Structure 1
Amino acid sequence: MDLDIAPLNGRLELLGELGGFWPVFMTKDPTAAFYYRHFDTLWPEFTLLALDRESGRPVAYAHSVPLSFSGDISAGLPEGGWDWAVRSAVHDRLTGTPPTIVSALEIMIRPDLRGGGLSGRMLTAMRENAARHGFTDLVAPVRPSGQFSETIDGYAWEAREDGLPVDPWLRVHVRAGGRIVNVAHCSMTIAGTLSQWREWTGLPFSASGQVEVPGALASVRCDVEQDYAVYVEPNVWVHHQL
């Protein structure tokens, strides 16, 4: 497919055509509002939109954000993962702190085109975009795309015979030059009342304990007496040295 991959440049109506593909509960992270309500005005050059040149329709997008990090990336990145990246970027913008790295936030491929290598092309474009803006480090709180029954701490480093990760999405990152750094055990936190969770998932949430929710990487903790449930999602930090 012949693609035109370029910064968003105000084309929100085209970006909107690629919405609605995440499970509803995944859109309820309160930290996300700090980014998605303002990304087109605060960091428009860090959102890439891919158009099919033949049809002119959008097929993918990639969100990333610049932020300041003074630690040693190889020694480990924050447990807060995705939420930390968003909060840090907003804080740095408000305080005028110069960013030192770029964090990937999301790459979305239109469902009917998945599995054809577009995710790798968008990741490459994201890497090139960060380098074009003068950054030498891109980090990514990667959401594994494969199914795993063991803990994410073991799965993150599980490899095939060729040495590449078992997980398909981590494999794309490593093939592109990324290095797995550490697990972010509380990368995204989503809490809500039981009625909200019933609305988001269609599940009863009628008993306290662990609830398995389709599309979640970990079980949701339900407390009937307190009338709330909490989902804490783990991600895997990957470092791309540009």
Structure 2
Amino acid sequence: MTEIEITTIAQRPELAARLWDMKDSWPQFAQNDSLAWLLYPRMVAELADYVLVATDGDEVIARGFSVPFALHAPGRDGALPGRGWDQVLMWAFSDLRRGVAPDTVSAIEISIAAHRQGEGLSGRMLSAMRENARARGFAEVVAPVRPSGKPAEPDTPIEEYAYRTREDGLPHDPWLRVHVRAGAVIDSVAPLSMTITGSLAEWREWTGLPFDATGPVRVPGALVPVRCELEQGYAAYVEPNVWVRHGLAHPSA
């Protein structure tokens, strides 16, 4: 049996081109986010120290993206943004361009190969992401979490879902539960964390659904309904996420 290895792309640049080889569980519409199309290649090229990859022998079985940014810069003041995932990506690359020193790392994505899910790899990747940030001197990792159980309840308000707990006090949502078990605390809701728009023809292609009436459309894999505007010829998805904070011990501690 081979041993699973988790490294950064900076350590193993030959794996950069293979990050998307594995089949993951992202719905097709989520692969058409404009900001992701623009910035994912830049994360690999410019922030390789924060891009993690797990391999089992020669097989890529998980990937993790994170970005350093200045959460405590003037005007941000340590407050996690309502625009969540979109905003933290824009802040990270704005800071990089302007030479602003980062003080925090944000998780962007952890994805597991479809045939390796259920093995605890998501928790291992999260631990590796935390350790990678801690080793680089950061005191905190934040994450705009996409709750894995929320697609089953698209009409439940995110504020209600995010803070729902089990009898043992842990979050009801499985992915939030992994974060809390790893030491995170739920901070706030990001009500418009990711926005994906497209023509009705595009949404029909992405989902196989008719998109033939104005109003909400429940799409498999979506956390909330997609809004169809039939007369205007487009549909828009505004995804809420849940901000969590992971405090880290300093390497010298």
TM-score by length of 1: 0.94
Give structure 2 stretches of 5+ with no counterpart: 249-253
SS at match of 2:93: helix
User: Match for 1:27 among 31, 34, 37?
Assistant: 31
Cα displacement string for residues 100-159 of structure 1 (whole angstroms, at most 9, x for unaligned residues): 110000001111111121110100000000111111110000000113352110111111
Cα distance in 2 for partners of 1:19, 1:188 equals: 22
Partner of 2:95: 92
Task: Tell whether the 8 Å contact from 1:34 to 1:86 is kept in structure 2 after alignment.
Answer: no
User: Match for 1:60 among 38, 59, 62?
Assistant: 62
Cα distance in 1 for partners of 2:189, 2:77 equals: 15
Partner of 1:2: 3
Partner of 1:199: 205
Query: Do residues 38 (structure 1) and 38 (structure 2) align?
Result: no
Instruction: After TM superposition, give the deviation of residue 72 of structure 1 in Å.
Output: 5.3
SS at match of 1:185: strand
Cα distance in 1 for partners of 2:23, 2:68 equals: 23
Write the letter of the residue equivalent to 1:180.
Answer: I
Give structure 1 stretches of 5+ with no counterpart: none
Query: Do residues 125 (structure 1) and 128 (structure 2) align?
Result: yes
Partner of 1:141: 144
For 1:69-88, what aligned pairs fall within 5 Å after superposition?
A: 69-70=71-72, 71=76, 73=78, 76-88=79-91
Instruction: After TM superposition, give the deviation of residue 33 of structure 1 in Å.
Output: 2.6
Partner of 1:155: 161
SS at match of 2:101: coil
Query: How many residues are paired up?
Result: 238
Task: Tell whether the 8 Å contact from 1:46 to 1:63 is kept in structure 2 after alignment.
Answer: yes
Instruction: After TM superposition, give the deviation of residue 37 of structure 1 in Å.
Output: 2.2
SS at match of 1:17: coil
Write the letter of the residue equivalent to 1:167.
Answer: D
Partner of 2:217: 211
The CA RMSD measured in Å over matched residues stands at 1.4
Among all aligned residue pairs of Structure 1 and Structure 2, give the percentage whose two residues are the same amino acid.
Answer: 50
Write the letter of the residue equivalent to 1:108.
Answer: S
User: Match for 1:235 among 234, 241, 250?
Assistant: 241
Cα distance in 2 for partners of 1:15, 1:97 equals: 28
Instruction: After TM superposition, give the deviation of residue 172 of structure 1 in Å.
Output: 0.1
TM-score by length of 2: 0.90
Cα distance in 2 for partners of 1:114, 1:81 equals: 26
| Consecutive aligned runs of 4 or more in structure 1 exceeding 3 Å deviation | none
Partner of 2:251: none
Cα distance in 1 for partners of 2:35, 2:231 equals: 26
Query: Do residues 106 (structure 1) and 109 (structure 2) align?
Result: yes
For 1:161-200, what aligned pairs fall within 5 Å after superposition?
A: 161-200=167-206
Task: Tell whether the 8 Å contact from 2:82 to 2:190 is kept in structure 1 after alignment.
Answer: yes
Q: Structure 1's 108 and 20: CA in aligned 2 closer, same or farther, altered over 3 A?
A: closer
Bigger drift between 5-14 and 174-183 goes to: 5-14
